[in-house]
A and B are shown apart, each in its own frame.
Chain A
Amino acid sequence: MRRLSRRSLLALLGSGAAGLVFGGRADAQVTPPGARALPSFTGPGPNPYWNGINPFVIYPQKLPLLRMTDRGIQLETPRPYFLTPFTPNAAFYVRYHLDLIPNAVDLSTWRLSVEGNVERPLRLGFDELVKKYKAVSVAAVNQCSGNSRSRFQPRVPGAQWGNGGMGNARWTGVRLRELLASAGIKSGTVQLQFQGLDRGPGPEGKGADAVMKSLDLMDPALDDALVAYLMNDEPLPMLNGFPVRLVVPGKFGVYWTKHLTWIRALTSEDTSYWMASAYRIPDTPTANTTPAAAASGTLKTVPIGHVRMPVRSFIVVPDGSSKLPSGLPVRVQGIAFSGDGPVVKVEFSEDDGRSWVEATLGADHGPYSFRTWEHIWKPSRPGKHVIAVRATDVQGNVQPDAPVWNPGGYLWNRIEREALIVGAAS
């Protein structure tokens, strides 16, 4: 058993001395009763689990979520919350880059600024934003660029998400284009830069003091963008960007600036760290490359904002936690989405991807939303079965069965599988 400091020993005693049984894990983590715990890390092979391997923790306004990091805060949504097309706010994943995250916001002094190369700089109070502008709603998936990064081979550093770095919500707020019209964007504007209240303790201007992201002024994705003050018809949880966040349907979450407070019209391309160095993908089809090409230093890259989220689909249940009796119909359920227009087809395979049948789609909540799907599967042979799912979007994009690799760990959308044990029924 590892040596314990007096303080950690006291912490252990406080949380139940039975924790001492697990001598190798002398943190205050506890093993789920009646079960083995997942390992404390995975690798160098891929993470084989649906979610990352992290423990359940509780944060303000949140249900128990999977703690990836605690300062800054990164929390993954557990698999069962994806059974419904809309992810509950209390279960919605959290991803910050820096650690100075607001605990309290005063709406009597908070203002949303629209500034830079504009005719009439705006400083809007929360009530002004809500009352003066037309409320618009959109159902849209917010997915971290690095969702499923723990699948990469070889592994790459970064947030080691399983599949739970995503969520779908009905966002309500003001059209970004309406705010821009109100401020009067002047000619010569090339990009819009977005910045929120969250920041970090690093020195100014190097990327560790603030996160700023920019999109081209003429990017069609901005036509659908909202400055949202409601999430699933409720105020945003603090950890999801209270009081308002940017919503850019179809684009990865990194552009959905939380606690949005500054919108700047730029007359030249944003060259700050978060655009010029971070969140860049190889300028190749599907952003695929090799470790050798990445190490060569000659790889041409573009900001991840140049692409929309590729089509994905997931199996939510059955999740492999229970043995399935043979001969019993199993309702296989999941979700699918694409940043490139609606999902038009979801296919199910009972034989590891060798043959496919079309699954039944659930209600249509719009082109950017999760779309639920289901298929009744009746396994007759006891033994191990591998089921799979793949989706096709309106552009004809089909999920590939080959992994992607790039040094940032972005854009994973390989066909998902679930291994299941079917037992004898007599």
Chain B
Amino acid sequence: MTRHRSLAIGLLAAAGALASASTALSQATKVPGVIQEGNYDPGNLGMSMQPAPRNDDAGAVYAVGAWPTYTPPLVDGDGKALVQSFCGICHSTTYITMQPPLPGATWEHLVDKMIGTFGAPIPEPAAQAIIAYLKSHYTPETRKE
């Protein structure tokens, strides 16, 4: 117990010594070659917790957790809700934001392909609104984010 306490006091003293050294900026710049040091950014940005091991039973079912979705927001604008609901039947709208800016004619062709080739149940007025939305925000001329 006593030993632990004295260790703790020793650590505190060491920390104090470090703190006073780092505040003395002129001291730090005398370390040969160091131009900058102790530059930390705040926060826990970008941290993800590790997954815990699964507690599977010994049966014949092999399972994993739900597939996570990471869908970036679409640009606000007329037709956005139609895009989310109709395009979202088969795939996330990440399929839109993932593309490079595409010419309006290409977007029109892609929407036609979803309906004609793949059978997406999109009524004509909604299809027109979806094409207009994509042209307004995701072409080389219009794409901002």
Interface residues of A (CB under 8 A from B): 2-3, 8, 15-16, 18-19, 24-27, 29-34, 40-44, 47, 54-55, 57-61, 64, 67-73, 98-99, 101, 103-108, 150, 155, 157, 159-160, 200-203, 206-208, 235, 238, 242-243, 273, 277
Contact = CB atoms under 8 A, between A and B. Distances in A.
Task: Among B62, B92, B95, find the residue whose CB has the most chain A CB atoms closer than 10 A.
Answer: B62
A105 B63 CA distance: 6
Contact of B62 (A64, A157, A243): A243
Nearest to B110: A157
Contacts of A34: 39, 41
B45 A238 contact: no
Given A200-B90, A208-B90, 16 more contacts: A16-B45, A47-B100, A60-B64, A60-B65, A67-B94, A68-B98, A70-B69, A70-B94, A71-B67, A98-B90, A103-B63, A106-B62, A157-B99, A202-B118, A206-B119, A273-B117
Interface residues of B, number: 46
A16 B67 contact: no
Contacts of B72: 27, 29, 40
A18 B62 contact: no
Contacts of A98: 90
User: From DSSP, what is the main secondary structure of chain B's interface residues?
Assistant: loop
A105 B62 contact: yes
Contact of B48 (A2, A58, A277): A58
Contacts of A69: 91-92, 94-95, 98
Interface of B: 39, 41-46, 48, 51, 59-73, 76, 89-92, 94-95, 97-102, 106, 110, 117-120, 140, 143, 145
User: From DSSP, what is the main secondary structure of chain A's interface residues?
Assistant: loop
Contacts of B43: 16, 18, 33
A356 B59 CA distance: 57
A14 to B, nearest CB: 11
Contacts of B120: 202, 208
B132 to A, nearest CB: 18
Contacts of A203: 119
